[in-house]
Each structure stands twice: as C-alpha cells, then as structure tokens.
Amino acid sequence: MSEIMFFAFRNAKLRMGLIIVLFFLLLGIFGPMISKYQDPLDYVGQGYQPPSKEHWLGTTTFGQDVFTQLVYGIRSSFFVGLVGGGIATIIGLVIGFLAGYEGGWLDELLMMLTNILLVIPTLALLIIVAAYLPYRGVFIQSIIIGLTAWPWTARAVRSQTLSLRTREFVNLARISGRSHMKIILYEVLPNMMSYVFMVFILQFGGAILAAVGLDFIGLGPSRGISIGLMLQNAVLWNAIQLGMWWWAIPPGLVITLVVGALYFMNVGLDEVFNPRLREM
Amino acid sequence: MKKYLGTKILVYILTFVFAVTLDWLIPRFMPGNPILVLVSRFSGLPESARVMYSYLTKAFGLDQPLWSQYVNFWIALFKGDLGISIYLYPRPVLEVLKMAIPYSLGLMIPSILLSWIVGNNLGAIAARRKRLDSIMLPIMYFITGAPYLWLGMLLAYFLGVVWDIFPIAGAYSFSLRPHLSWLFVGDFLKHWILPFLSLFIVQIGGWAIGMRNMVIYELENNYVRYLETLGVKRKLIRKYAFRNAILPQVTGLALQLGTVIAGQVTTEVVFSYPGIGYILTQGILNQDYFLIQGCFLFIIIGVLIANFTVDLVYMALDPRIRFSYGGEV
C-alpha cells in the first residue's frame, strides 16, 4: 500500500489531475459559502454585467450572479458523478461478476442484455425515461444515469473475471467449499480493486457529461441549478450572440477541466497500478 | 463467418424489439398521465382540450386491452405511422423526421469518418515521438473531456461573434429556400462548418488517445522485436503495428456511436441546426410525445444500421473472422 502511495505521489499525471479535481471539489463544497449571494436563482443586480468586483463572473440577462450559479452547479455535478457513476459501477460489477464467474445460461442471458443496452445510445434511453417523469431532481437524474451507463463496465468486468476465475487461488477457495458470493467478494474483487477504481473514475466523468447533456436539452432538474441548466439558459437567451462570454463559457470550461482531469488521473493511476507502464 | 453474422443480427433484432417495447412501454407506465399533461397545455381552449383528449386517447389506443395496444403499435410502426406531431400540428411525425434526417446525417457521417481518420493518424504519429506525445496527450484528454455542446458554444462565440466569420444559427440563411444552386450550397456549407467542427474536434481526442495506446502496445509485441532483429525497415514495422492497432479502433467506432449521438443532439441545439436532435429537443420542450417516440425510433434504427456496417467492415478487415478461426467475437 505504501509503495502504491509512493508511486502515486511521484506520478505527475495523477498529481495534476488530482489537483484540478480537488480544486473544483473544494470550490463546489465551499464556493456557496464564499459567494456573496445565497440563492443562485435570486435576482441580485443589473443584467448583462460583465465580471466585476461585485459580480465575479458577471450577471445573466436577468441579473443573477453567474459565480453563485457556477459553484452550485459544480456541487450538483459532483453529486451526479458520485451517485450516478457509483450506481453504474456497482451494477456493472454485479452483472460482470455474475456473468463471468457463474457462466452458463446466466452468462448468456446477462451478456445478451448487456449487448442490447450497449447498442442503444444512453442519451436516447435517458431522454425517453426522463421525458415522461413529471418531477425530476438531481438525485432521480443520477439514478437514471446510473441505471443506463453500466453496460460497458459489465462487459469489461466480465472479461477480467473470466481470466481470474481459473487462477489457482480461486480454485483453492472453491475446493475449500466457500460460497460463490464469498469467493467473488474475497478472492476475485480484491484482485481487481485497482481496475474497479479506474472504472469508477471513468463512470464518474461519464455521468457528469451525461447530466450536462440531459440538462441542456431540457431534461434537467425541474428546480435548482446545474451546469447543464446554465448552459441551456445561456443558449436560450442568446448569450453567445450578445457576447456574454462570462455566462456561456465558464460553465463548460469547468466541466471540461474536471472531466479531462479525471481522464488524466486515470492514465496516471494506470501507471501506478501497472508497473510496466511506469515512466522510469 | 455465418455464425458471427448470425449472432450479431440476432442481437440487433432483439435490440430493436427491446427498444420498440421500451418506446411503447414508458408513456404507459410512467407516473402521471401523459395525456392529461398534454391536454393541460391546451387548457386555455376548453373546446380543443376535449377534442385533444379524445384524439389522444384514441391515438394511444388506451381504450383497448394492453396486448392489442402493443400489437397495434407494431402494426402502425411497419406502416410508417408514427402519429401526428402536436408541436408541429398537423404534420405527421414521419414527415417531420424525414425532413430532419439529411441534416443530421450530413453532420454526423463526415464528422465521424474524418475524425476517425485524422485522430488515428495523429495518435500513430504521437506514439513514436516522445516530445510530441507529451504535449499532445494532455490536450487530447481535455478535448475528449469537453462536452460537445460547450465546444460548439466556444466556436460559435469566437468564430461566429468575436471574429464574425461564420453564421451560428440554422442550416441556411433565412432569405434562401433549399434548392440546388451554388449560392445555396455555399450558404449551406458556411452554416455547416461550425457544428461540424465542434463534433469533429471532440471526437479526434478519443481516437488519438486510443490509437496512441494501441500502437505503443503493439510496438512492444514479440513480432515487432522479431522483425527488428531481422533488420526490417522501421517503416514496414510501423505498418504492421498500425494494421493490428486499427482493429480495436474499428470496434470502437460502434461503441463510440452512443456518445457521438448525444453530442450531435446537443450540438444541433447550440446551432439551431434543424436535424433530428433539434427536433427532439423541441419535442421535449413542448412535451410532444409522438415526436419524442419517433426520434427515439429513428435514432435506434440509425444506430443499428451503423453497428451492422461496422461489423461488416470488421469482418472484411480481420481475416480471423472471415475464416472463422474462433477468437472472441
């Protein structure tokens, strides 16, 4: 463990990614406290104001404070990433383990389901579910994203499980009469922990992006604020045409930085866990 | 080969049935009554509300038992009857979608193919140049992390507003009508370039990263070492490595499709580009359920066709499948 930590802190990619993600995480947690305004939807000043001392990122057409909206948006983005990405990872793990370890008809059935869901574009699926929900909160949205994003994880976990299943220590555990669930939990899972962690990071980023897309086309939370909603409003009220860059550009920039940093962290982690990839 | 195609086609048929069932199921089993929601939108006009309610009940076929609703849904589907758009009343959904599809495909197909070619080449080049690699890799990761819609907004802001080079809304100028002339084609291309670029640039990132990793991995393989000891030219070795590395990228083409479609939908909205994605969003904002259902079906059919094409290409490229020497399919 300490060896892994050593390589983790030596890895520049991981360090850089982590710093960016942590920065925005902290901004999401503490930002609402340092911003001057409490309610992101409140009308606090004149509209169309470029960034100033009073409004750090300017105001929207209606005089809402963009910075306040942004920090609340970051908060909800991290929430969606955590819950949506978490659910997707867990479902993917369970299905991948079951299919890979149990094999037989269960494998066939689960993989058929996985392949079907893999072909259907996630956003299309999300749209059709979200469009009929009269009330949507950030939490519901995260759950829907989690329920639709797992197929590639399931497939990847399954193939990893397949290769672990025939290893000696797993055979030994099986001979000693442990139940399948215990073997999966205590023999297979620990050997894939690094991989699982990386899958979670990818799902985290994916969930954030999916939420931005959904919010943007009008299927976001029916109240409150999110990055996707900010972008939607900016486009709806012609922020680009009016040259209000402070409204249109920063929300997407934050998402790009966070998701890019997550991917970058993932490469770094890959190098930490896999000695062959380490830069010497 | 037959087995390979057979399994694939079976999965696709099942996917289609699954998707259509979902399309049918969701409005019927969701909490709340979509018809009431629809009618309430017209509540200002009690007369039309009543007509609307009876029309919609009949259109959804809600007065019949469930199984016959389901069968009817399929029959209507094969007749090409997707209902009538409420938002664009009284135009049939199918007609609306037919108008939109050339715009969507015209953006999507070139962006996918070109980004695939450019991205793969960039990745292969970066894989063998250390310095270029260390500059390009971080940029590529942040490019793939960018939401399509945001890159679109960025381009629209800088190229469309600040420098005012390209128009940023619609597929052609309001003063023109679609017809075949140089004037129209030029105008169309001018409107096309920004949405195209935003799709194209984001996709390049993923392909370049994937290709870079694959080539590095391939160049460490034993056959490469063997060729090196034989004293084969670097160029030939790279060619072999490239060929092996391209296969997973072809599979990736199918896997990537879902996110590209998501990006396409949002990009069309940013540029008010009248494709399926734009129509879909209008349908959502106006709660036009028939239109949403229709868009979903069109997207699924498109994805299935694209997936099948990728399978055929893969089969043509990979001799192991052509001669069916096992291997994971």
Tokens of B21: 């069932």
pTM: 0.87
Q: Tell me the CA distances in angstroms from A9 to A12, A192, A196, A202, A271, one per residue in order.
A: 8, 21, 20, 20, 12
Average pLDDT over residues B217-225: 85
Cα separation, A177 vs A262, in Å, equals 41
Q: Which residue of B has its CA nearest to A231?
A: B150
Domain that holds residue B176: 2-27+100-326
Query: How close is the nearest chain A Cα to the Cα of B217, in Å?
Result: 10
Domain residue spans of chain A: 11-29+64-274
pLDDT band at B34 (very low <50, low <70, confident <90, very high): low
Q: Do A209 and B147 touch (CB under 8 A)?
A: yes
Backbone angles phi, psi at B84, to 5 degrees: -115, 135
**Closest by Cα among B251, B230, B228 to B238:** B228
- Residue B30 pLDDT: 61
Tally of residues, chain B: 329
Residue B314, in any domain of the structure? yes
**Closest by Cα among A61, A80, A57, A81 to A69:** A57
| Strand partners of residue A59 | A65
**pLDDT tens-digit map of B63-113:** 777 788 888 888 888 887 877 777 777 788 888 898 899 999 999 999 999
Q: Judge whether B145 is closer than 8 Å to chain A, CB to CB.
A: yes
Q: Do B11 and A116 touch (CB under 8 A)?
A: yes
Across A98-133, b (16+ Cβ under 10 Å) vs e yields bbbbeeeeebeebbbbbbbbbbbbbbbbbbbbbbbb
Interface residue of B161, B164, B251, B256 to substitute, partner A, most A CBs within 10 Å = B161
Residues B277, B97 contacting (CB under 8 angstroms): no
3 state DSSP class of A65: strand
Residues B288, A149 contacting (CB under 8 angstroms): no
DSSP, res B92: B
**Out of A124, A245, A249, whose CB is closest to B300?**
A124
Residue B41 predicted with pLDDT over 70:
no
Residue B14, in any domain of the structure? yes
Q: Tell me the CA distances in angstroms from B252 to A6, A211, B209, B247, one per residue in order.
A: 34, 23, 12, 9
Partners of residue A209 in chain B, C-beta under 8 Å? 145, 147, 259
Residue B327 predicted with pLDDT over 50:
no
Cα separation, B93 vs B37, in Å, equals 19
Partners of residue A243 in chain B, C-beta under 8 Å? 157, 161-162
The count of other CB atoms within 10 Å of the CB of residue B56 is 19
**Closest by Cα among B194, B186, B150 to B168:** B194
Cα separation, B284 vs B104, in Å, equals 18
**pLDDT tens-digit map of B138-194:** 889 899 889 999 999 999 999 888 888 888 888 777 777 777 778 888 888 888 999
Residue B77, in any domain of the structure? no
Tally of residues, chain A: 280
Residues B153, A252 contacting (CB under 8 angstroms): yes
Residues A230, A69 contacting (CB under 8 angstroms): yes
How many CB contacts within 8 angstroms connect chain A with chain B? 167
Residues B294, B93 contacting (CB under 8 angstroms): yes
Interface residue of A256, A257, A270 to substitute, partner B, most B CBs within 10 Å = A256
Long-range contacts of residues B49-54, Cβ cutoff 8 Å, at least 24 apart = none
- Residue B43 pLDDT: 58
Residue B32 predicted with pLDDT over 80:
no
Q: Do A249 and B145 touch (CB under 8 A)?
A: no
**Closest by Cα among A143, A130, A149 to A222:** A130
**pLDDT tens-digit map of B120-149:** 999 888 887 888 888 888 889 899 889 999
Where does A11-29+64-274 sit in CATH, by number? Answer: 1.10.3720.10
Number of domains within chain B: 1
Tokens of B217: 């991995």
3 state DSSP class of A249: helix
**Closest by Cα among B203, B258, B309 to B19:** B258
Query: How close is the nearest chain A Cα to the Cα of B167, in Å?
Result: 10
- Residue B241 pLDDT: 85
Residue B329 predicted with pLDDT over 50:
no
Cα separation, B198 vs B215, in Å, equals 27
Q: Tell me the CA distances in angstroms from B14 to A68, A125, B110, one per residue in order.
A: 47, 16, 29
Cα separation, B300 vs B13, in Å, equals 11
Residue B61, in any domain of the structure? no
Q: How far is CA B316 from the centre of its chain?
A: 23
pLDDT band at B323 (very low <50, low <70, confident <90, very high): low
CATH number of the domain that B255 lies in?
1.10.3720.10
Backbone conformation region of residue B164, classed left if phi is above 0, alpha if psi is from -120 to 50, else beta: left
Residue B320, in any domain of the structure? yes
Partners of residue B303 in chain A, C-beta under 8 Å? 119-121
Query: How close is the nearest chain B Cα to the Cα of A176, in Å?
Result: 32
Cα separation, B278 vs B297, in Å, equals 15
The count of other CB atoms within 10 Å of the CB of residue A96 is 28
Tokens of B100: 């939109």
Mean pLDDT of successive 10-residue stretches along chain A, which has 280 residues: 73 88 92 80 77 82 86 93 95 93 88 85 78 79 90 90 86 88 88 88 93 87 86 88 87 93 88 68
